[in-house]
Amino acid sequence: MTATVFRKGLNLKHAVAGTLADDYHSELIEQIKNSDFIWQDGRLIVHLAQEFGFCYGVDRAVDYAYQTCVRFPESRVFLTGEIIHNPKVNTRLRDAGVSFLSDSGQSVEHLTKSDVVILPAFGVTIELLEQLDRRGCTLIDTTCGSVLNVWKNVKRYTEDGFTAVIHGKVHHEETRATASQALLAKDGHYLVILDRKEAELLCDFICDRIGIDQFENTFREACSPGFVPSRDLKRVGLANQTTMLMSESLEIGELIRDAMVDRYGHNVLSEHYRAFETICSATQDRQDAITTLLNTQQFDLAIVIGGYNSSNTRNLARICADSLPTFHIADADCLVSENEIRHRPANKRNQEGPDNSSEVISRNWLPSAGAVSVAVTAGASTPDSIVGDAISRLSTFANS
C-alpha cells in the first residue's frame, strides 16, 4: 500500500479560522503591539520583543491539524508525536480527539488505510515515514520549510561523500529526522554535536590531539551506524537543528573549519569542509529581537515563555540570562504569587527534559517596591493567548 499525502493544507483555512482565534488570540497582545510593544499597568512596565511567539511554520502546522479534524470527522486522526513543543497546544489537540502515536499503547502497527496521521512541524525520520507508507493511511505533512531546507543540504553533503555534522540535540525530533536523511545516500554518515565543548573535542580528534576512546565515550550515541571516525571525519559538512543558538553555531563552524585547515591545509579546505547556514529565519528573528531589546533598555528581569522542551525558547532564555535575572516559564500558571515563581533555569544543560522535572521554584523574584521594568519574549511554539495570560497575571502580582 502507498499513503496519500497532503502537503499544502486541505482548503479549509476559513473553516477553522474562528476556532484558532478563540484558542490562541489575545486582545491584550494586540493592544501591546499597537502601543509600540510597550504596556504599562500601575508600577509594571512591560517591553515585549518585537518578534516573539508563533512563527509561520508553527502557525501552519497547527492550522493544518485543525483542518484535518474538520476534513476527516469520521476517521481516526493521529499525530506521530507533539505537533509543536507547547503542552497546551498539544492538549488542545488531544481534547479535539487527536491521538498521539508516541503515547503508551499506541503503535504504527495498529494503523489502517482508513486512518489519518499528521506529521509534525519537526518532520519524521525516514524509517517512520516508510512504516506509515506501508500502512497506506492518509498523511498530513506539516514539516516546516526551514527543516526541509536542512534536509536538502544534508542529503547533498552525503551524496558528495561528506559526513553530515549536525549542531543539535541528539534526541530532539527534528535532529533525529535530519540525521536520518544522511542515511539515504550510499555510505552516508552523520555526527550530532550539542555545543562548543563537544565541537572542541571533535576538533581535537580531527587534529590527532585525542584518541579514539575519548571520542567514542562522548559520541557513541550521536553518530550513524557503522561510523568510523578516522574514515568518516576526513570530509564533513556542517548543518544545524534549526532552533539552535546562532552565535554558538557560528562558533562551532569556525572551530571545525580551523581544525580542517590545521589538519589538511588551507589550499584543499573545500575538499574537507563545507557549511551551509541552516538556522531558520524565525529563530534568528526572535534571537535578534530580544538582543536588540536588551541592548536598548534597562530591565529588572526577563520573562521567557514557552515549553520547557522547546529548543528555541531555551536559547532565548540563555540570551536573556547573560544580562539579567531571567525566568523561563511554561505558562501563566508558573507565576504562582508575587513571592513565588516556577521556572526552568536558563542555564540548565540537559538536552531534553520535556516535563516539569526541570522546574525549580524561586522566591522573592519580583521587586516589592517601585516601578518594575520587565522584558518579555516567547518561543516560536507559544501562542499569543499564553503570552497575554502571563502578562496579565504578572500585572496582577506586581500591583497587588
The enclosing domain of 374 has a CATH number of: 3.40.1010.20
Tell me, yes or no, whether 232 and 265 share the same domain: yes
Q: Choose one of 96, 128, 143: the last residue of a domain.
A: 143
Residue 22 within any structural domain of the chain: no
Assess whether pLDDT exceeds 90 at residue 350: no
How much is the pLDDT for 3?
A: 79
Average the pLDDT over 327-331 and give the result: 97
Tell me, yes or no, whether 122 and 178 share the same domain: no
Percent of the chain with pLDDT over 70: 97
Tell me, yes or no, whether 351 and 257 share the same domain: no
How much is the pLDDT for 354?
A: 43
Tell me, yes or no, whether 271 and 305 share the same domain: no
Residues 242-290: tens digit of each pLDDT: 989 888 999 999 999 999 999 999 999 999 999 987 778 889 999 999 9
- When pLDDT is cut at 50, 70 and 90, the band that residue 348 belongs to is low
Average the pLDDT over 29-54 and give the result: 98
Residue 51 within any structural domain of the chain: yes
Tell me, yes or no, whether 266 and 309 share the same domain: no
- When pLDDT is cut at 50, 70 and 90, the band that residue 400 belongs to is confident
pTM of the model: 0.91
All residues at 6 or more sequence positions from 152 whose CB lies less than 8 Å from its CB, including other chains: none
The enclosing domain of 101 has a CATH number of: 3.40.50.11270
Tell me, yes or no, whether 79 and 44 share the same domain: no
Residue 16 within any structural domain of the chain: no
Residue 23 within any structural domain of the chain: no
How much is the pLDDT for 143?
A: 96
**Cα-Cα end-to-end distance for the chain:** 62
Residue 19 within any structural domain of the chain: no
Catalytic annotation present for 127: no
How much is the pLDDT for 106?
A: 83
Tell me, yes or no, whether 265 and 152 share the same domain: yes
Three state DSSP letters for the chain: CCCEEECCCCCCHHHHHHHHHHHHCCHHHHHHHCCCCEEEECCEEEEECCCCCCCHHHHHHHHHHHHHHHHCCCCCEEECCCCCCCHHHHHHHHHCCCEECCCCCCCHHHCCCCCEEEECCCCCCHHHHHHHHHHCCEEEECCCHHHHHHHHHHHHHHHCCCEEEEECCCCCHHHHHHHHHHCCCCCCCEEEECCHHHHHHHHHHHCCCCCHHHHHHHHCCCECCCCCHHHHCCCEEEEECCCCCHHHHHHHHHHHHHHHHHHHCHHHHHHCEEECCCCCHHHHHHHHHHHHHHHHCCCCEEEEECCCCCHHHHHHHHHHHCCCCEEEECCHHHEEECCEEEEECCCCCCCCCCCHHHCEEEECCCCCCCCEEEEEEECCCCCHHHHHHHHHHHHHHHCC
Catalytic residue among 127, 174, 248, 277: 174
| Residue ranges making up the domain that contains 96 | 4-11+57-143
How much is the pLDDT for 353?
A: 43
How much is the pLDDT for 280?
A: 86
Tell me, yes or no, whether 51 and 61 share the same domain: no
Contact 381, 314 (CB under 8 A): no
Residues 351-383: tens digit of each pLDDT: 444 444 589 999 999 998 899 999 999 999 999
pLDDT: which is higher, 106 or 127: 127
Percent of the chain with pLDDT over 90: 90
Report the domain count for the chain.
3
Assess whether pLDDT exceeds 90 at residue 221: yes
How much is the pLDDT for 352?
A: 45
